[in-house]
Amino acid sequence: MNISIQGLNKIYPNGYQALTDVNLEISEGMFGLLGPNGAGKSSLMRILVTLMKPSSGQVFVNGKDASKNRDYVRSMLGYLPQDFSFFSNLRTHEFLDYAARLAGMNSRRKRSQAVDHMLEEVGLFDVRSRKAGKLSGGMKRRLGIAQALINEPKIIIVDEPTTGLDPEERIRFRNLLARLSSQDVIIILSTHIVADISSTCEHMALLNRGQVAFTGSPEELIRQAQNHVWSIYVTEKEYVEVNQKYQVVATVMMNDGWKVTVVGDEVEGYEAEPIAPNLEHAYVYFVEHTMKNSHSYQS
Ligand code: ADP
């Protein structure tokens, strides 16, 4: 399995350029697509799942041009969109059966087995007869996951998985994805939550204002932020100044002032010590300090 994204641009009808020359190679395993809101993640995902056409550029799935082989791509795809909607009047198991039929599973016996298996897998077996509309927020999210996985897809695309999930459900969800990624599948996890990437993804890309600001492993991202994260001791008065001048990522109150962690190329005028960055620091560094001169509006 392999996805190759080449020279992708997306300009919406109103002239807004949401993606600019995106190039990515994605192979088996868990791939994290990280970026702030508005970075273009959903636009990229919608193109990948062939719901939207790029303005230019191509996506190849196992060497096949996705725009010319939509059925091929869709047959191996499981997609959990950000705003997953369903028929709230169907019972949970009926909805999954419906999703399985849509995915082309024609055998009633196989469908029934797949539905029971998925219900167990996402922990909804006990509420299988409840109307989907009556499930809790977390349960609805899990139903979304179940419908995306019912046809054993080879490419799983998950948009913002953890919004609306409590910590326990997030962990359960991550474990489910990690288990799947040990098989012969590509999982693309699109999120603005750094912690979701660090604990699960070997490979990642950072998308910022429609452009790929970084691609590699989370460890490489951290390495590239080395010597750009600083610890400074300041008085209360200085703190206001520092906050205006630098990107503050953490503040700790001490006996005689404040200890702040800031991200930046250099710190002048204060006694600053470089500290070892974590993924969150590295993310802030890249989002704030790369591509300062880029702009996404087409005139
Ligand atoms: P993300 O998923 O990273 O939050 P999106 O792909 O949803 O980013 O959006 C990227 C940018 O494109 C945003 O500024 C958004 O407002 C804009 N955008 C998204 N969809 C449309 C559209 N249909 N028409 C115009 N602009 C859009």
In this prediction, residue 32 carries a pLDDT of 95
Distance of alpha carbon 159 from alpha carbon 172, whole angstroms: 17
CA of 14 to the centre of ligand 1 (A): 11
Q: Whose CA is nearest to atom 16 of ligand 1?
A: 38
CA of 46 to the centre of ligand 1 (A): 11
What is the domain extent for residue 59? 2-214
Neighbours of 17 (CB within 10 A): 18
Last residue of a domain, one of 156, 185, 214: 214
Q: Which residues pair with 274 in a beta bridge?
A: 230
| Shared-domain flag, residues 172 and 280 | no
CA of 11 to the centre of ligand 1 (A): 10
Kindly report, residue by residue over 164-218, the tens digit of the pLDDT.
677 887 777 777 777 777 778 999 999 988 888 877 888 999 999 999 999 999 9
| Shared-domain flag, residues 158 and 33 | yes
Q: Are 209 and 290 in contact (CB under 8 A)?
A: no
| Shared-domain flag, residues 29 and 49 | yes
CA of 210 to the centre of ligand 1 (A): 9
Burial class (CB in 10 A: 0-12, 13-18, 19+), 185: buried
| pTM (two decimals) | 0.86
Closest Cα to residue 156, out of 130, 131, 135, 177?
177
In this prediction, residue 162 carries a pLDDT of 58
In this prediction, residue 297 carries a pLDDT of 36
Neighbours of 132 (CB within 10 A): 22
Q: Whose CA is nearest to atom 13 of ligand 1?
A: 38
CA of 40 to the centre of ligand 1 (A): 6
In this prediction, residue 69 carries a pLDDT of 93
Tokens of 11: 């300009």
Last residue of a domain, one of 179, 214, 249: 214
Distance of alpha carbon 238 from alpha carbon 244, whole angstroms: 10
CA of 258 to the centre of ligand 1 (A): 39
| Shared-domain flag, residues 109 and 252 | no
In this prediction, residue 107 carries a pLDDT of 94
Mutate to test the pocket of ligand 1, among 8, 11, 12 (most ligand atoms within 8 A of CB): 12
In this prediction, residue 164 carries a pLDDT of 65
In this prediction, residue 291 carries a pLDDT of 58
In this prediction, residue 75 carries a pLDDT of 84
Number of Cα atoms under 13 Å in the Cβ half of residue 290: 20
Q: Which stretches of the chain drop beneath a pLDDT of 70?
A: 161-164, 290-299
Q: Whose CA is nearest to atom 7 of ligand 1?
A: 42
In this prediction, residue 299 carries a pLDDT of 31
| Shared-domain flag, residues 59 and 207 | yes
% helix, strand, coil for the chain, step of 5: 35, 30, 35
CA of 295 to the centre of ligand 1 (A): 14
- Around ligand 1, the residues with Cβ closer than 6 Å are 12, 14, 16, 18, 35, 37-43
Q: Are 84 and 158 in contact (CB under 8 A)?
A: no
For the chain, how many structural domains are there in total?
A: 2
| Shared-domain flag, residues 267 and 232 | yes
Last residue of a domain, one of 183, 214, 245: 214
Mutate to test the pocket of ligand 1, among 8, 9, 16, 34 (most ligand atoms within 8 A of CB): 16
